[in-house]
């Protein structure tokens, strides 16, 4: 079994739309096959981001580039693409993130479909000016005459168990303050393929953060054919009546576990929502759930202060204040740089989330 999810990047007009995906624990045995793909041709893969192109035919404007991309990438996401499609379409770049994104902006404006890889999300910050002041504003400063919507920026994201200061960060909140781009984070391979293809097809530049711990931890049945999953539409993975749990990426699997714990130990019914898209996020789905349950817990790996959980909390208390039965709870990383040997104490695990649920229920 090859260790990769193959993403089929093509300019086909007909795409299959998939509204639901696979979810479960980080353990491979607990990841379930989505019923929505059970009757179609599919392949079982591990990596959340291995790029290939459909051979029937492939538009030549598609290019992918970044540090070590021609070699296959540090996570082996682009293995074999250079040999298959040539050095003009799959190529390495210097170790210069602002140059990688700047080149991608220019390529997209010139008509290419540019997929730029930042080797780790921790190193996206040198490209911050290019993303915030160039890519995000290009359409607006030209009065909608020009845009770089054909740009998608991929970056491995989040903790991995041993990444320490510079290989574990979750910088999504920085870009949530940046109108003009879309920020997307999948929870697993099947969802990643559909969301990535949606990002590539979207008319706005997109940042696609890939939870790198799932590269080798998640196994799902991924349909072979091309399909998309709508952006900015949250997914209710489990319906409940007492508490709403909201997260994205890796943290979704933590909330699925804590939901089972709460039901078993407390008799508490939890509704679990995968936000999927951070910017723009699905306010309506979250607020409808909170109106029903009266309680909200938001969890992410990034530090709590200024994290995106604060934005969700603020919006929900404005929209649903009279429906709240308890203060909104944020279970997030600490306000410290990401530690190495203390990583297990830093991350918002199921036990921290479980204690937060108990506090809300007993409020």
C-beta separation of 90 from 62 below 8 A: no
Known catalytic membership, residue 340: no
Q: Is the dihedral of CA 287, 279, 37, 26 positive or negative?
A: negative
Q: Please list, in sequence order, all residues whose beta carbon lies within 8 angstroms of the beta carbon of residue 236, skipping any fewer than 6 positions away.
A: 271, 272, 273, 285, 289
Q: For residue 318, indicate whether it is catalytic.
A: no
Q: Which residues pair with 52 in a beta bridge?
A: 8
Centroid of chain to Cα 269: 26
Closest CA relative to residue 314, chosen from 173, 219, 141, 205? 173
Three-state secondary structure along 167-195? CCCCCHHHHHCCCCCEEECCCCHHHHHHH
In sequence order, the 6+-apart residues with CB closer than 8 A to the CB of 37 are 18, 190, 221, 222, 223
Instruction: Spot the catalytic one: 97, 172, 210, 235.
Output: 97
Structure tokens at 194: 């559909």
Annotated catalytic residue within 50, 167, 253, 300? 167
How many Cα atoms within 13 Å fall on the side-chain side of residue 124? 26
Q: Answer yes or no: are the C-beta atoms of 281 and 234 closer than 8 Å.
A: yes
Catalytic site residues? 97, 167
């Amino acid at each position: 079994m090859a260790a990769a999810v193959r993403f089929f990047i093509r300019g086909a007009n007909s795409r299959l739309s998939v509204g639901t995906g696979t979810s479960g624990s980080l353990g491979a045995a607990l990841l379930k096959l989505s019923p929505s793909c059970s009757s179609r041709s599919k392949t079982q893969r591990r990596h959340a981001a291995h790029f290939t192109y459909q051979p029937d035919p492939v538009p030549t404007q598609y290019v992918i580039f970044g540090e070590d991309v021609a070699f296959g990438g540090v996570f082996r996401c682009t293995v074999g693409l250079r040999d298959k499609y040539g050095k003009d379409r799959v190529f390495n770049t210097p170790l210069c993130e602002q140059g990688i994104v700047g080149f991608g902006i220019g390529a997209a404006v010139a008509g290419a479909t540019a997929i730029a890889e930042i080797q780790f999300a921790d190193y996206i910050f040198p490209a911050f000016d290019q993303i915030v002041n160039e890519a995000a504003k290009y359409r607006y400063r030209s009065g909608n005459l020009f845009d770089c919507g054909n740009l998608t920026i991929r970056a491995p994201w989040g903790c991995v168990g041993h990444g320490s200061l510079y290989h574990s960060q979750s910088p999504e909140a920085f870009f949530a303050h940046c109108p003009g781009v879309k920020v997307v984070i999948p929870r697993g391979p099947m969802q990643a393929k559909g969301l990535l293809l949606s990002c590539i097809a979207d008319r706005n530049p997109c940042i696609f953060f890939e939870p790198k711990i799932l590269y080798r931890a998640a196994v799902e049945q991924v349909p072979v054919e091309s399909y998309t999953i709508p952006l900015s539409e949250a997914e209710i993975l489990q319906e409940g009546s007492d508490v709403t749990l909201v997260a994205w990426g890796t943290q979704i699997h933590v909330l699925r576990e804590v939901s089972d714990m709460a039901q078993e130990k407390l008799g508490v019914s939890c509704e679990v929502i995968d936000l999927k898209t951070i910017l723009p996020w699905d306010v309506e789905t979250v607020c409808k759930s909170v109106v029903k349950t009266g309680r909200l817990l938001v969890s992410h790996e990034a530090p709590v202060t200024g994290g995106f959980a604060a934005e969700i909390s603020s919006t929900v208390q404005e929209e649903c204040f009279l429906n709240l039965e308890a203060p909104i709870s944020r279970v997030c990383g600490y306000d410290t740089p990401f530690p190495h040997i203390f990583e297990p104490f830093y991350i918002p695990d199921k036990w921290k989330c479980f204690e937060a649920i108990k506090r809300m229920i007993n409020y």
